[in-house]
Amino acid sequence: MDREYIKTQRIVERYLSGDLIVREARDFERYCQEHADVLDTLPLPARLKARLAIKPFDGTDTSVFPAIPSSITRVAVEVEGKQRRKPIRDEDDDLKPVINRRRGVVPAMLFGMAILLIAFLLWQNHEQQQQIKTLATQAKVVKLRAPGNSQVVRIAPSDTLPDNPQVSISLAEPKLLDVHVDVSGTKFNNFALTIDKTDEARVILIRRMVADTNRELRLNLNSSAFGPGQYQIKLEGYDWRGETSPAGWVLLDMR
């Protein structure tokens, strides 16, 4: 008898059900006693494994099989008698405290995760409220006001974005900015003009601006529409196919 024979012939199931003949039962018991590593892997009750591991089966003890097809019946009788005298402590009894501890850990982990989630939501709500207050303050700062006077601003764009502002404009009082952008150094007649506040957001995008006879782009801006900071003006020229190409940069400083 070997491991494969035990598996293919369903020796374990037949042993437990009492369907093995005496010789097969003895061979199986002897194999289990000689191969403890295989015995540990078989689907047998813990007490039966202990019995098979320690009791010698040399064929001399014929009382084990007096009138039954296998020894499983005698084992069942012995176990039943011991159960009446003293409850059997199975291996599962040793696992119960561990299982109970694990069951207690799961609710604690879920409770801790819920606390962390609530704290994160509260912090996020606080941050959003602060951002709303900041934006409201900024909105008040850049509130449009009627310009009291005007200022002419003449700009000559450079080929690349300058490191330093080319023009500085005071925001102490609202004024109408009459901006002249010199595009005489370019080959384009139609332009796209984009104004972005540095590292923040886009302010203005104008497409298809046509240069006047002085080769200038003219636009009027209310200075109160701009908050303090630096503003990038990007010029792009349209070719005959309607595609744009870089045409120059301007950097303004408003304070």
In the chain, the domains with their CATH numbers are 3-88 (no CATH), 149-254 (2.60.40)
pTM assigned to the model: 0.43
pLDDT in the model for residue 94: 57
> d(Cα 65, Cα 82) in Å, to the nearest integer?
20
Residue 137 has what pLDDT?
A: 61
pLDDT given for residue 3 in this prediction = 81
User: What does the pLDDT read at residue 19?
Assistant: 84
| Closest to 75 (Cα-Cα) out of 94, 49, 56, 38 | 49
The ranges of the chain with pLDDT < 70 are 55-104, 135-143
In terms of Cβ atoms closer than 10 Å to its own Cβ (0-12, 13-18, 19+), residue 73 is: middle
DSSP summary character for residue 220? E
Parallel, antiparallel, or unpaired for β 244-254 and 190-197?
Answer: unpaired
Per-residue model confidence (pLDDT) at position 160: 92
| 1 three-state secondary structure | coil
* Whole-angstrom distance, CA of residue 43 vs CA of residue 52: 13
Strand partners, 254: 169, 229
Pair type for strands 190-197 and 149-155: unpaired
What pLDDT, on the 0 to 100 scale, is given for residue 99? Answer: 59
pLDDT of 207 reads: 92
Q: What is the pLDDT of residue 239?
A: 93
Distance of CA 222 to the CA centre of its chain: 46
Distance CA 42, CA 248 (A): 84
Q: Enter the tokens of residue 45.
A: 């009750």
φ and ψ of 211, to 5 deg: -70, 145
